[in-house]
Amino acid sequence: MSKILSQKLKVALIQFIGSTADKSANLQKAAALVEKAVKDQPETKLVVLPECFNSPYATDKFREYAEVIEEDSPSYKVLSNLASKLKIILVGGSIPELEPKTNKIYNTSMVFDQNGALIATHRKAHLFDIDIPNGITFKESDSLTGGEKATTVETSYGKFGLGICYDMRFPELAMISARQGSFAMIYPGAFNTVTGPLHWSLLARSRAIDNQVYTLLCSPARNMNSDYHAYGHSMVVNPRGDVIAEAGEGEEIIYAELDPEEIETFRQGIPITKQRRFDIYKDVSK
């Protein structure tokens, strides 16, 4: 019996539009939906929000909406209170973060435990700078700085790895967390209508089968009134690579149950976690 996930774990992913100009309304909406998710399915113990869940996803807006991560900042307070009130682990999507010492802005995810304590932050490490002719051009590095670490979060159920959106294209972060004993990779993410159909599901399934872990991808719902059209399709993939829950494009809460026995069964059948040849790939960064 695998110990990497201590028991069955019910999760909820909240796909919604939180990208309006009114940050406080976005935050209130997020809070109401987290409460609804747990009220509708009270056995839910881990809830995930989308990337940039309470601000527009736009390089020229990140600084205006940014918060310092501290106890009395608006997003911190709301998320911490929700986690302790509902006794859940809350992966707070991401927000633009202002680091006051350097004046830099990051795209940062905060994770709170069942007591409302901040147990992890992840700063998006790989910035979304792409240029697809006749498709989409986006350059997060116009206003954001990339984070400098891989993040593995320790909880009372076990560990999970945390990345943000474009981070999922880089298998190394997931591998690092998986080798530290994570049961899942969680990615708040906002793919778009160009790259979403190409790669969203493929990447979720790839990170799952590479590492034989669950992957949880939580997107904003599509907002045709904003400049950036999120793909939607929040999903949960099991360690065998099956999509076990998937949203459409609109606002929706999806649920899934993560099962430690499933991880163990897949790992026994295809034992790649025991067959690695670290003698061949000691250091792939060289």
Residues of the shown chain interacting with ligand LYUYDEPV in the complex, contacts defined by CB under 6 A: 51, 128, 165-166, 169, 190-192, 195, 199
Query: Which candidate in 29, 97, 165, 251 is catalytic?
Result: 165
Alpha helices by DSSP H, listed for 109-184, are 171-179
Q: Is 148 a catalytic residue?
A: no
CB 175 within 8 A of CB 212: no
Query: Which candidate in 124, 218, 246, 251 is catalytic?
Result: 124
Q: Measure the CA–CA gap between 156 and 34, rounded to whole angstroms.
A: 20
CB closer to ligand LYUYDEPV, 63 vs 169? 169
Residue 58 token pair: 């736009």
- Find the shortest distance in angstroms from Cβ 240 to ligand LYUYDEPV: 24
Q: Is 36 a catalytic residue?
A: no
Residue nearest ligand LYUYDEPV, Cβ-based: 195
DSSP E strand boundaries for the chain: 9-15, 44-48, 89-91, 95-99, 104-112, 118-123, 129-132, 136-139, 151-154, 159-162, 182-188, 214-218, 235-237, 243-246, 252-258
- Compute CA distances 81 → 3, 71, 75, 255, whole Å: 30, 11, 10, 22
- Find the shortest distance in angstroms from Cβ 104 to ligand LYUYDEPV: 18
CB closer to ligand LYUYDEPV, 45 vs 229? 229
Query: Which candidate in 23, 29, 45, 51 is catalytic?
Result: 51
199 residue type, one letter: H
CB closer to ligand LYUYDEPV, 184 vs 190? 190
- Find the shortest distance in angstroms from Cβ 51 to ligand LYUYDEPV: 6
Q: Is 97 a catalytic residue?
A: no
Alpha helices by DSSP H, listed for the chain, are 23-40, 62-65, 74-86, 171-179, 195, 201-211, 260-269
- Find the shortest distance in angstroms from Cβ 190 to ligand LYUYDEPV: 4
CB 96 within 8 A of CB 55: yes
- Find the shortest distance in angstroms from Cβ 165 to ligand LYUYDEPV: 3
CB closer to ligand LYUYDEPV, 52 vs 83? 52
The residues that are catalytic are 51, 124, 165
